[in-house]
Amino acid sequence: MTFIDRLRKIQHSGNSLLCIGLDTDLKKIPQHLLKKKNPLVEFNRAVIETTRDLVCAYKLNLAFYEARGEHGWHALRETLALIPKFVITIGDAKRGDIGNSSERYAHSLLHDLKFDAVTVSPYMGKDSVAPFLESKAHGVFLLALTSNPGAKDFQYQKVGKKFLYEKVIETASRWSDGNIGFVVGATQAQQLRSVRKIVPHAPLLIPGIGAQGGNLEDVVRYGCDANGDLAVINASRSILYASNGKDFAGKAREEAMRLNDAINSFRMKFFQH
């Protein structure tokens, strides 16, 4: 089964496009957890246990784990072991390098850590991405249009009559079928329409809902494919830190449920699910 087929199946069976970013910051988790042996893992465990039925994916930004050295790598592996097999795991690593280096990165993320999908920078071209594309069972989300202010430095530069991000998507979409997708920030919702026209059948990883203020209605309307699927809509801080008390897991579930219900309401509106 290709990654895209599996993603669609999971989104249908769970009736969810929601992805929770487990970008866990020890400075923000409830203070009582700091007394635990592995506070980061305990926090992630509680969030996963209370939201696993509401999501299609969890996205782990490796920066939050790598920064803690050996303890962070242990926490990363422990967290991955807690995620059920019926949920997609995304390693948000933003890798991309010359071929032999990318081959090592791909092995680490997809075969050692066993992420189902990864984020990759396409800036160095096809040979830097190819090692991640070898298995159709693994998803590869290429950075296309991001939400940060610096996106204007390159992504919106014109190449002929098109923006650079459009050329990146057009070119990279020919590198593989069945497992390639793109990262498009939720705060760029109006550009999602043009992205979907270029890649009508590709999954889009869309961060920026919640704390970053992306317009959820526009994200669903323009980010989904024609069937109302294949948008992976990520929220992190708004769910993880919905409470800093002992009720944090319950509040995380409430916020995840609110977001999932809102997403599905818009799917019904635009796609008649």
Q: What is the DSSP letter of 109?
A: I
Considering only CA atoms, which of 136, 108, 138, 102 is closest in space to residue 122? 102
Query: What does the DSSP 8-state code read for residue 30?
Result: -
CA dist 120 and 125 (Å) reads 11
HEC string for 147-185: CCCCHHHHCCCEECCEEHHHHHHHHHCCCCCCCEEEEEC
Catalytic one of 9, 35, 94, 167: 94
Beta pairing class for 117-120 and 139-145: parallel
Q: Tell me, yes or no, if 162 is annotated catalytic.
A: no
Is the four-CA dihedral 23, 27, 29, 34 of positive or negative sign? positive
What letter would DSSP give residue 15?
T
Find how far residue 160's CA is from the centre of its chain: 31
What is the token pair recorded at 272? 């008649």
What residues are annotated to the active site? 94
